[in-house]
């Protein structure tokens, strides 16, 4: 029979490996009731190791991000739905910026069958996904390669981004603060995203609801600077109010049903 201490150690190990854990999966794995797992998760949240989410918990992060491969597993189905909705917002004959992130990679997969698009990216993973998409032109910005996630950062990347003025920027974020601030971990990556936003006519944020429960130290921008926010579900009424007042469209792909909220 597992003890509470051994269960919590295993839960933390899994959270560090995967980025998040689910009550039902843990209950089956540890052969205990879901109620027992919920108590373990609540205890780990009380000690600031995890952050509770619907049906499970996320690894609490502050200065450092979850590993890139683990981030791919977090809310993977939600990211795919977000990507499909976002792809539907992109007209033919558009030019796009796509930045670093697992959700923006999902958008790239959703766009792979499209034609007559120009995609400029500092994400080698996005470029690889679109490499065989015959109808798309892909531009990879030059700069310093970040080995952890295939991102390209640095002054050369900033200079090259500044040479373009595109129709649409598609960006991800690591965290969304309760006041609507978009946050990330790497100052170099944030500078790239800020340059992308500054050189696009329309700005789309793609981020699942777990980002609202997270924290990161570097400010990217504010929700009020975006035209569209595509997410799985948005339970936070304050974030919803901020978007409404700023005129930022909210596209939700699940939760309260397929839904779009337009500013009044």
Domain residue ranges in the chain: 4-60, 70-261
pLDDT (0 to 100) of residue 60: 67
76-80 contact pairs (CB < 8 A, 24+): 78/208, 78/209, 78/232, 78/253, 78/254, 79/103, 79/106, 79/206, 79/208, 80/106, 80/109, 80/110
Residue 121 near residue 99, CB atoms below 8 Å: yes
pLDDT (0 to 100) of residue 56: 87
- Which residues 6+ apart lie within 8 Å of 24 measured at CB? 34, 55
Residue 192 near residue 99, CB atoms below 8 Å: yes
Q: Give the span between the Cα atoms of 20 and 75, in whole angstroms.
A: 9
CB atoms within 10 A of CB 148: 11
CATH assignment, 4-60: 1.10.10.10
* Spans of the chain, pLDDT less than 50: 1, 63-64, 256-258, 263-264
Report the b/e string of 128-140 with b at 16+ CB within 10 A. ebbeebeebebeb
Q: Tell which CATH architecture fits domain 70-261.
A: 3-Layer(aba) Sandwich (3.40)
Whole-model pTM: value is 0.75
What digits encode the pLDDT tens for the residues 22-77? 999 999 999 999 999 999 998 888 877 787 877 888 876 554 455 555 555 566 78
């Amino acid at each position: 029979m597992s003890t509470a201490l051994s269960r919590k150690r295993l839960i933390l190990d899994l959270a560090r490996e995967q980025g998040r854990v689910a009550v039902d999966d843990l209950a089956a794995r540890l052969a205990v009731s879901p109620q027992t797992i919920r108590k373990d998760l609540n205890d780990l949240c009380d000690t600031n190791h995890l952050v509770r989410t619907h049906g499970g918990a996320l690894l609490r992060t502050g200065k450092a991000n979850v590993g890139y491969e683990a981030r791919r597993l977090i809310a993977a189905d939600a990211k795919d739905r977000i990507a499909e909705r976002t792809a539907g917002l992109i007209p033919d004959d558009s030019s796009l910026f796509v930045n670093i992130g697992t959700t923006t990679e999902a958008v790239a997969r959703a766009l792979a069958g499209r034609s007559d698009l120009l995609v400029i990216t500092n994400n080698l993973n996005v470029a690889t996904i679109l490499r065989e998409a015959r109808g798309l032109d892909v531009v990879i910005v030059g700069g310093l390669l970040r080995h952890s996630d295939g991102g390209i950062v640095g002054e050369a990347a900033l200079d090259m981004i500044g040479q373009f003025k595109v129709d649409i920027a598609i960006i991800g974020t690591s965290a969304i603060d309760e006041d609507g601030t978009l946050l990330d971990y790497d100052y170099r990556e944030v500078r790239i995203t800020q340059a992308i936003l500054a050189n696009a006519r329309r700005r789309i944020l793609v981020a699942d609801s777990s980002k609202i429960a997270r924290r990161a130290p570097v400010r990217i921008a504010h929700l009020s600077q975006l035209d569209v926010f595509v997410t799985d579900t948005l339970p936070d009424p304050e974030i919803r109010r901020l978007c409404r007042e700023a005129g930022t469209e909210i596209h939700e792909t699940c939760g309260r049903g397929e839904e779009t909220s337009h500013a009044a």
